[in-house]
Amino acid sequence: MDAVIFCKRGRSTSSWDIAGAPMLVRQLEWLRRLGCARIAVEIDPSHTAWKALFAALDEHPIGAGVERVISAEPLGPAGVAARAGFGETPYLAISTAVLGDCSLDALVELGPGHKGMLRPSTGLEGCVGADVLLLDDAHPAVEAAVTVDGWGLVVRDRADANRLGSMALARELPSIVVHAHEQRPGVWIARGAVVSEGAALHAPVFIGAGAIITDGATIGPDAVVGARAIVERQATVADAIVEADTIVGEGVLLERCTAQGATIVDWATNARATIEDPLIVASREGRPRSWLSSLVALCLLVVIAPLSLVLGPLRPLRDALIGLARGERCWVGVGAPERTGRSGSSLARMADSAPVGVFSIEQALYAPDATEEDRRRARAWYALSKSASVDLALLRGAARATIAQRLRNTKLQPT
């Protein structure tokens, strides 16, 4: 049997913007358990989550063989099935907002053109029940409904999504597979995650792949920390979601909200707020390597490398260009930080993540007599604010500071 996941009109019913790629993975797992060999997924390119959906289909084994139907306007289940070539045989259809688990024997006996009604599982009674459609080319509309065994619900908002996830983590919904190791009841830690001994995890809680939870952080109950996210010391995430590649700074409290990069989404009002201070919340996404910069660096090395053998002052430039060619440096940045041992400070780690450049802007980033704390704060700001305009402004400032310093040194020299 085939299946389609379709978008309803209005698009506001799509939970992919609410629950992200995990929702799609759960839907695909559900349909596979129902015996669906071919599955088509309708994706609206205007959704903020569409890139994450594509990544989930590419990276997760459950996405193998799934047909992607891209449409700026809702096609409905019949339109999606037609685009995917599924229309000649019966196919199941669910909307992007529906998740559940059920037996379809009664629905299959009725044949195409009918709807299976599902009720929420125990503990989710406050949610809206869902349905599954059985259609084909000859029966593109629903004529009758039947109650089927199992549960299903419409994920209306982030609170619904988090409540559903918490029940799954507490093993109250055994049909939902959690892709992680259960360290103790209700505490799930995915591969590559690092949880410091001084961190407190209160079930139910999920720590995603490659995430870092530092000493003094408190996670849970009812909390999800996404892949590669960082929660710094003394921060608390309770009844909240930290999306992938998000940094939660020291002492920050997240409750009844979702943190995604520098954006906070309040569950009660659905309001979105952008946080300007990167030490509160920020994105951890790395910058892509520039192959053009590497190529230019290699061309310059052809000239600089031989000259550096006889001209000592060119050797630092040669080494910097080698780092640029390897993707370890950028054209403009700070100097390599001094390694004084591993620090547990989030500020130190953010400062160390400031990109190292061939040309330094540190003269404009902080005063020569700045304290170590001020230097770290400046580097942390630069690590998260780097852009072409910022680099240009800092380069001008660094050039002026260098010229002024040389003039002062000249005046101080004895005549």
Question: Rounded distance, CA 390 to CA 82, Å?
Answer: 50
Contacting residues for 269 by C-beta, under 8 A, at least 6 apart:
none
Kindly report whether the peptide bond that precedes residue 221 is cis, defined as omega within 30 degrees of 0: yes
Whether the Cβ atoms of residue 93 and residue 84 lie closer than 8 Å to each other: no
Number of residues that this document lists for the chain: 415
Q: pTM for the whole thing?
A: 0.64
Question: Rounded distance, CA 60 to CA 18, Å?
Answer: 19
Q: Token pair for residue 217?
A: 């952080």
pLDDT at res. 342 = 43
pLDDT at res. 12 = 47
297 three-class SS: helix
128 three-class SS: strand
* DSSP strands (E only) in 81-164: 91-95, 98-102, 114-119, 128-129, 131-135, 144-154
Question: Rounded distance, CA 52 to CA 391, Å?
Answer: 30
pLDDT at res. 345 = 55
**Sequential pLDDT tens for the chain (415 residues):** 899 999 886 544 456 767 777 888 889 999 998 889 899 999 887 776 777 777 778 777 888 888 888 888 888 899 999 988 886 789 999 998 899 888 888 888 888 989 999 888 888 877 888 899 999 888 888 878 888 888 888 888 888 888 888 999 999 888 888 889 999 999 999 988 889 889 999 999 999 988 999 889 999 999 999 988 999 989 999 999 998 889 999 999 999 999 988 899 898 888 889 988 888 998 876 555 567 878 888 888 888 888 888 888 888 888 888 888 877 788 888 876 655 444 445 566 667 777 888 888 888 888 888 888 788 878 877 876 777 888 888 888 888 887 877 777 676 566 5
- Would you say domain 178-283 falls under CATH 2.160.10.10? yes
Question: Rounded distance, CA 234 to CA 217, Å?
Answer: 5
Task: Please name the residue that has the structure tokens 């809206």.
Answer: 128
User: 362: closest CA among 336, 329, 324?
Assistant: 336
Whether the Cβ atoms of residue 219 and residue 198 lie closer than 8 Å to each other: no
Superfamily of domain 2-156: Spore Coat Polysaccharide Biosynthesis Protein SpsA; Chain A (3.90.550.10)
pLDDT at res. 218 = 96
Helices (H), 111-260: 158-169
Question: Rounded distance, CA 330 to CA 357, Å?
Answer: 5
Phi/psi for 146 (5° steps) reads -140, 145
Q: Token pair for residue 354?
A: 């400031």
Task: Please name the residue that has the structure tokens 């520098």.
Answer: 262
Domain boundaries, the chain: 2-156, 178-283, 291-412
Question: Rounded distance, CA 49 to CA 96, Å?
Answer: 12
pLDDT at res. 225 = 95
Q: Are strands 223-225 and 240-242 parallel, antiparallel or unpaired?
A: parallel
Q: Token pair for residue 45?
A: 């390119």
146 three-class SS: strand
User: 76: closest CA among 64, 66, 91?
Assistant: 91
34 three-class SS: coil
Q: Token pair for residue 226?
A: 């996404």
Task: Please name the residue that has the structure tokens 């550096």.
Answer: 308
369 three-class SS: coil
